[in-house]
């Protein structure tokens, strides 16, 4: 039986593996295997909510092993470290426990077709001190560590053992940075209702952005302005056209010699693909992304496909697909269709991806949501408030329905809704 291995069970990978499991794995037409470093999936655009405790990982995480058993695919936990293309095998690093015990030795898995969708990691652009002093939001574990640090600081302020303002700096005013800032304000307000003795203006939060606007990826300047205005209303200091040159224990040093003091620094200034991709013998660009055609097939190997944040896929106008949830999902699903064809006929004509920007949304906790829909049509339609929140939330709903099917998916979403109503707004442990 032909073997398809998908490495990376993220926003795109989970939708692909579910599709392949249903159409091929369950019907015995191919053996489908998912490989991921983690043992569970949490939709990455929600990581900032996990970092502030708004999201409960217990009810939102999807266990790969169990999901695979239900959906017709196998699961192997491990990190991709190499590809033996001659023998069509991938190599997984030895697996260690958190306390350093060896659990599994290095392993090799056979494939006939390999799909790589291992996402992106934060790009520190070589700026000194980022790794040592800033938090990033690439993995569930990092979000959980950040949550603990944020909660510790709030507790120190509430107990009076830490004086003055709680100084936070977020580098990068894209969706991650802006949403994180709003979530931190929401967290401060909610903790006060839980009896934490926190000054109303405790949070001294600065967002630093190298370009001249917040949310530079939003197509309309009035949308960017409304995000900017809302941040100012919340008391966030917005510092655009500001380059960070060093991160230290004291805070951020900028190109013009300013020191922005911070007790807690979140780095959300941009992404690059994981370094391992540059060591696989496949063609990559400067951001370590695998170079591929618009069919999802890598330029280096016709049996290897790629999608999402780790892929460099050209569009008709010569630009490349942006690293976003919707492109990861759409390309991954198209690769699913292409692989099904290739199993029947190795010379089959493959679908080519044409990007249609369905919109961009930014959710400022419960304060506001703004976005732009149908950007391909006369610059798009501006949406704010409740309708924007509905569309924003529907992206996650669609992801859950794709993973679990309409019936079970709707039930899970109902449980999430009830859980949000019944459980405390913040998870504190
Ligand atoms: C806080 C935040 C908010 C965001 N908000 C939005 C938004 O509003 N809209 C939007 O479109 N996008 C948003 N994004 C970006 C979006 O999350 C990504 O574009 C999307 O998740 C990319 O999907 P992917 O499948 O390529 O990778 P990911 O979803 O990142 O999944 C990658 C998977 O690969 C696994 N992996 C990594 N390395 C290895 C390895 N070596 N071996 C095996 N497995 C590995 C990881 O564990 C993970 O499961 C946001 C991102 C963040 C962090």
10 touches ligand 1 (CB under 6 Å)? yes
Q: What is the pLDDT of residue 218?
A: 75
Over residues 272-290, mean pLDDT: 97
* pLDDT higher than threshold 80 for residue 392: yes
* Percentage of residues of the chain with pLDDT beyond 70: 98
Over residues 257-268, mean pLDDT: 96
CA of 180 to the centre of ligand 1 (A): 16
CA of 321 to the centre of ligand 1 (A): 15
Atom of ligand 1 nearest to the CA of 13: 25
Query: In CATH terms, are 3-120+273-344 and 122-270+359-422 the same topology?
Result: yes
Q: What is the pLDDT of residue 338?
A: 98
Over residues 394-407, mean pLDDT: 94
52 touches ligand 1 (CB under 6 Å)? no
Convert the pLDDT of each residue in 8-53 to its tens digit: 999 999 999 999 999 999 999 999 999 999 999 999 999 999 999 9
320: β partners? 314
Q: What is the pLDDT of residue 224?
A: 87
Assign residue 267 a region (left: φ > 0; alpha: ψ between -120 and 50; beta: otherwise).
beta
Options 3.40.50.1980, 3.90.330.10, 1.20.120.530, 3.50.50.100; CATH for 122-270+359-422 is: 3.50.50.100
| Residue 132: CB atoms within 10 Å | 9
Q: What is the pLDDT of residue 379?
A: 61
CA of 196 to the centre of ligand 1 (A): 34
By alpha-carbon position, which residue is closest to atom 4 of ligand 1?
45
Class of domain 3-120+273-344: alpha beta
Give the confidence band of 167 by pLDDT, cuts at 50, 70, 90. Answer: very high
Give the confidence band of 355 by pLDDT, cuts at 50, 70, 90. Answer: confident
Give the confidence band of 391 by pLDDT, cuts at 50, 70, 90. Answer: confident
Residue in 408, 30, 364, 387 with CA at minimum distance from that of residue 173 = 364
Convert the pLDDT of each residue in 188-242 to its tens digit: 999 999 999 999 899 999 999 999 999 887 766 778 888 899 999 999 999 999 9
Q: Which of 9, 15, 34, 45 to mutate to test the pocket of ligand 1 (most atoms within 8 A of CB)?
A: 45
Helix axis angle, 13-20 to 385-404, nearest 10° = 40
Q: Which of 7, 9, 11 to mutate to test the pocket of ligand 1 (most atoms within 8 A of CB)?
A: 11
With 0-12 / 13-18 / 19 or more C-beta atoms within 10 angstroms meaning exposed / middle / buried, residue 388 is buried
CA pair distance 35, 92, nearest whole angstrom: 9
Give the confidence band of 55 by pLDDT, cuts at 50, 70, 90. Answer: confident
| Top-confidence residue, 335 or 394 | 335
Q: Which of 10, 322, 393 to mutate to test the pocket of ligand 1 (most atoms within 8 A of CB)?
A: 10
> Containing H/E element for 34?
strand 31-36
User: Mean pLDDT over all residues of the chain?
Assistant: 92
DSSP-derived letter for residue 22 is I
35 touches ligand 1 (CB under 6 Å)? yes
Task: Find where tokens 């079970």 sit.
Answer: 408
Residue in 38, 55, 236, 233 with CA at minimum distance from that of residue 139 = 38
Domain limits, the chain? 3-120+273-344, 122-270+359-422
Q: What is the pLDDT of residue 221?
A: 74
């Amino acid at each position: 039986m032909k073997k398809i291995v998908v490495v990376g069970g993220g926003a795109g990978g989970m939708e692909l593996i579910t599709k392949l499991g249903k159409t091929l794995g369950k019907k015995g037409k191919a053996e489908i295997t998912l490989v991921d470093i983690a043992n569970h999936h949490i939709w990455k655009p929600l990581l900032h909510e996990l970092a502030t405790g708004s999201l409960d990982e217990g009810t939102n995480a999807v266990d790969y092993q169990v999901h695979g058993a239900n959906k017709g695919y196998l699961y192997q936990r491990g990190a991709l470290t190499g590809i033996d293309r001659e023998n069509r095998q991938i190599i997984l690093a030895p697996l260690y426990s958190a306390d350093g015990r060896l659990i599994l030795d290095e392993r090799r898995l056979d494939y006939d077709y390999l799909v790589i969708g291992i996402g992106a990691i934060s790009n520190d652009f070589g700026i000194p001190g980022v790794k040592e002093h800033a938090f990033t939001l690439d993995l569930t574990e990092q979000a959980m560590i950040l949550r603990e640090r944020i909660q510790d600081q709030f507790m120190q302020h509430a107990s009076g053992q830490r004086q003055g303002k709680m100084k936070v700096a977020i580098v990068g005013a894209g969706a991650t940075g802006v949403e994180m800032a709003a979530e931190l304000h929401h967290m401060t307000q909610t903790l006060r209702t839980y009896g934490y003795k926190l000054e109303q203006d405790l949070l001294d939060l600065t967002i630093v952005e190298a370009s001249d606007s917040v949310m530079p990826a939003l197509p309309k300047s009035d949308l960017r302005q409304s995000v900017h205005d809302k941040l100012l209303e919340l008391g966030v200091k917005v510092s655009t056209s500001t380059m960070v040159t060093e991160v230290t224990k004291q805070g951020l040093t900028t190109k013009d010699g300013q020191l922005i003091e911070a007790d807690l620094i979140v780095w959300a200034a941009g992404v690059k693909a994981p370094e391992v991709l540059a060591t696989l013998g496949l063609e990559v660009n400067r951001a370590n992304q695998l170079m591929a055609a618009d069919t999802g097939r890598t330029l280096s190997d016709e049996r290897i496909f790629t999608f999402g944040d780790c892929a460099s896929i050209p569009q008709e106008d010569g630009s490349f697909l942006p690293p976003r949830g919707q492109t990861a999902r759409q390309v991954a699903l198209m690769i699913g269709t292409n692989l099904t064809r290739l199993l029947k006929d190795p010379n089959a004509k493959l679908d080519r991806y044409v990007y249609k920007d369905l919109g961009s949304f930014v959710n400022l906790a419960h304060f506001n949501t703004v976005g732009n829909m149908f950007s391909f049509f006369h610059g798009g339609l501006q949406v704010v408030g409740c309708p924007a929140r509905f569309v924003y939330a529907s992206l996650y709903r669609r992801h859950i329905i794709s993973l679990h099917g309409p019936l079970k998916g709707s039930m899970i979403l109902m449980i999430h809704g009830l859980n949000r109503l019944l459980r405390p707004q913040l998870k504190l442990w």
